[in-house]
Amino acid sequence: MIKSPVHEAITLNALDCVVPAGSEAQCLTTVAVRENQVLLYGVRWPDDPPFALNRASPPRIADCDPKVTLRSTAQPKCWTGLFSDADKTAKQRTANKPGQPAFGPGDYLLYRSHFGDLQFFHSMAAYDGETAAETQQRMRMWAQFLWGVATKTIPTDRFIHTVGDDQTGALFPRAI
């Protein structure tokens, strides 16, 4: 309903499925997806990070159930509604406050990763005017953090603000 599995197809092609360029969708088989499920979740995560909706003040969007962790596959209509809201709100905020990310700590992860301070997940600047060097630095910081998680040098049984460096911790403060 929302997206095509282009990232998944490219990933499977990079792993072991050899097809001509432009034919990566042929790599999407049930067997390949099952064998690489965990890796594919990681590839999909920046576009569809699961997160809890605010139960005390749930979004006023049809089909949003605050008791269910939000993912595009779990609540597709809610996800689409929130994405559209984030896009509209980001345009308003950046018009009123240029030179700043539209969203940051305290906002939904979906808003932040697509229209806010976490756009470096997609190799994009967080706001008009952010230099390429700043974006690259944030991408490297996140890559180092993810490498630490993957190699188990960063514990995965604690909150990010307690295990990362100051930059990583600032992105995910304890309480907002």
Ranges under pLDDT 70 in the chain: 1-3, 164-165, 175-176
What is the predicted pLDDT for the residue at 2?
A: 52
Select from 12, 13, 18 the least CA-distant residue to 34. Answer: 12
Torsion, CA 165, CA 169, CA 171, CA 175, rounded to 10: -170
Q: Which residues of 60-89 are buried (b: 16+ CB within 10 A; e: fewer)?
A: ebeebebeeebbbeebeebbebbbebbeee
